[in-house]
């Protein structure tokens, strides 16, 4: 399943593969908890180990943790997130086998996926939704979000399995849903806004193990400062923590120099750096995007959804960070009500960009809520990322699909500025309009059309699909529960 997602048309391939899981479950003579739950765990562990093995690179190759402990950590994370898969398919044993069992399993899966995105700050990576960007159910995203895509994947995979028992009705369901989705793809909710803007996305391609080498850091800062000032553009972006020093430790006059360039060239700059915020215990660091616009006060966005262990220490785990001497692992988080970045253009209306930093791009519901509640209309998405932690793995293509899903959900174009890739420009339909090759140093120049308007998903978030799923489960318990 996880490997299929990486293939062309992976979203199509995953559906019949999942139907094989239902076929395997039906080989059991008694569908009870003792058999279904372990099967769900085995399926989930295999799925997530294949999909998330690149975490080993950040733990072992970059973090210096022993290979055995790194493997154990990846396995434990896979086992934890597999619990949600296992609880989801328990619907098979809870509800008597009926014609609507597939719908109830899909509803259960949606609820579990939502919980996976919230419990312990959430880890919704490698869901079925993002693979649907290359599948038949992507058009559901602007209406009901990625969870609706998940619902349809699970339900249709069940109907494929049921073809041997209910050929006519199952085939009608499968074809009906696919046709409906293709018709839905013809509907758009956002429209072009103003004239296109020029953008420059700078990809430095610096190895992560140089991050705490003072000489290498200075070279990295010099590279980005030089590249920024080579050419004007409406918007110039460098990646997450491209300036790896805390803001007050940056070379003297650097930000003033860049502000002067912004003023003189009418360029708007977004800089990834380490911020510093006051706290009750003194100064605390933050993962920050600083914006410099012509003749304006600096803008700042502090990452709000932090990575456990990488950017904040969960309660009771300080011993782990101390034992492995993880530097700068307890950042301050920004609020969810931070303003979008204002892109100032001469003789043109301002454009507002919603910023996400790396991991935040995984949480579609949070981004949709920010856009809906923003005081300013959001016209563009910007994600600043550093995936050098994960080496030459599929982490970058996985996050690209997540960004594509975010564009599809919101109907807005997106800019991805990354250290090692994939640096790209996405259209409001999530399609890649321009990109740089991974693990190369360069600058992506493009023209980007801003959009205005809101999709139903931005307005309503996950509430409709969650309500539908919960109502289905309540009905299922009343209709099919065992006494």
- The residues annotated with a catalytic role in the active site are 240, 303, 358
What are the C-alpha distances in Å from 77 to residues 61, 191, 213, 299? 18, 41, 30, 36
Q: Which two tokens stand for residue 115?
A: 């919980």
Task: Give Cβ neighbours of residue 23 (< 8 Å, ≥ 6 apart).
Answer: 161
Q: Which two tokens stand for residue 160?
A: 């494929």
- The full 3-state SS of the chain, as one line of letters, equals CHHHHCCCCHHHHHHHHHHHHHHHHCCCCCCCHHHHHHHHHHHHHHHHHHHHCCHHHHHHHHCCCCHHHHHHHHHHHHHHHHHHHHHHHCHHHHECCCCCHHHHHHHHHHHHHHHHCCHHHCCCCCCHHHHHHHCCCHHHHHHHCHHHHHHHHHHHHHHHHHHHCCHHHHHHHHHHHHHHHHHHCCCCCCEECCCCEEEEEEECCCCHHHCCCHHHHHHHHHHHHHHHCCCCCCEEECCCCCEEEEHHHCCCCHHHHHHHHHHHHCCEEEEEEEEEEEECCEEEEEEEEEEECCCCCCEEEECCCCCECCCECCCCCHHHHHHHCCCCCCCCCCCCCCCCEEECCCCCCCEEEEEEEHHHHHCHHHHHHHHHHCCCCCCEEEEEECCHHHCCCCHHHHHHHHHHHHHHHHCCCEEEEECCCCCEEECCCCCEEEECCCCCCEEEEEEECCEECCCHHHHHCCHHHHHHHHHHHHHHHHHHECC
Task: Give Cβ neighbours of residue 183 (< 8 Å, ≥ 6 apart).
Answer: none
C-alpha span between 218 and 254 (Å, rounded): 12
Tell the residue number behind the tokens 């972006």, with chain if given.
237
């Amino acid at each position: 399943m996880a490997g299929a997602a990486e293939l062309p048309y992976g979203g199509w391939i995953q559906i019949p593969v999942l139907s094989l899981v239902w076929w395997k479950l039906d080989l059991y003579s008694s569908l009870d908890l003792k058999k279904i739950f372990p099967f769900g765990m085995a399926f989930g562990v295999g799925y997530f180990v294949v999909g998330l093995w690149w975490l080993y690179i950040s733990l072992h190759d970059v973090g210096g943790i022993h290979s055995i402990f790194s493997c154990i950590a990846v396995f434990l994370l896979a086992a934890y997130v597999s619990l949600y898969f296992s609880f989801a398919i328990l619907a098979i044993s809870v509800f008597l086998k009926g014609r609507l069992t597939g719908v109830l399993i899909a509803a259960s899966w949606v609820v579990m996926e939502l919980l996976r995105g919230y419990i312990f700050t959430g880890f919704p990576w490698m869901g079925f939704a993002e693979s649907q960007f290359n599948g038949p159910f992507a058009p559901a995203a602007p209406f009901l979000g990625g969870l609706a895509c998940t619902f349809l994947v699970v339900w249709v995979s069940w109907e494929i399995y049921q073809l041997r028992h209910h050929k006519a009705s199952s085939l009608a369901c499968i074809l009906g849903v696919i046709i409906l989705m293709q018709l839905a793809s013809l509907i758009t909710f956002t429209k072009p806004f103003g004239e296109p803007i020029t953008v420059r996305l700078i990809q430095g391609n610096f190895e992560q193990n140089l991050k705490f080498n003072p000489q290498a850091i200075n070279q990295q800062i010099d590279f980005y400062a030089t590249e920024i000032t080579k050419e004007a553009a409406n918007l110039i972006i460098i990646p997450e923590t491209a300036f790896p020093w805390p803001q007050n430790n940056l070379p003297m006059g650097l930000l003033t120099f860049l502000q002067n360039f912004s003023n003189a060239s009418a360029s708007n700059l977004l800089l990834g750096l380490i911020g510093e915020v006051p706290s009750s215990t003194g100064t605390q660091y933050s993962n920050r995007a600083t914006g410099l616009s012509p003749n304006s006060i600096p803008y700042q966005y502090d990452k709000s959804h932090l990575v456990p262990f990488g950017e904040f220490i969960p309660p009771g785990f300080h011993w782990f960070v101390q034992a492995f001497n993880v530097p700068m692992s307890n950042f301050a988080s920004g609020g969810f009500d931070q303003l979008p970045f204002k892109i100032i253009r001469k003789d043109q209306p301002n454009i507002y960009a919603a910023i996400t930093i790396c991991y935040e791009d995984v949480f579609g519901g949070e981004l949709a809520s920010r856009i809906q509640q923003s005081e300013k209309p959001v016209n563009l998405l910007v994600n600043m990322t550093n995936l050098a932690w994960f080496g030459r793995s599929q982490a970058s293509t996985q996050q690209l699909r997540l960004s594509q899903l975010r564009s599809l959900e919101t109907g807005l174009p997106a800019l991805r500025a990354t250290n090692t890739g994939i640096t790209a420009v996405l259209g409001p339909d999530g399609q890649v309009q321009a990109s740089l090759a991974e693990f190369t140093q360069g600058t992506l120049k493009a023209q980007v059309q801003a959009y205005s308007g809101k999709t139903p998903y931005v307005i309503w978030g996950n509430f409709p699909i969650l309500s539908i799923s919960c109502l289905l489960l309540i009905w299922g318990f009343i209709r099919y529960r065992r006494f």
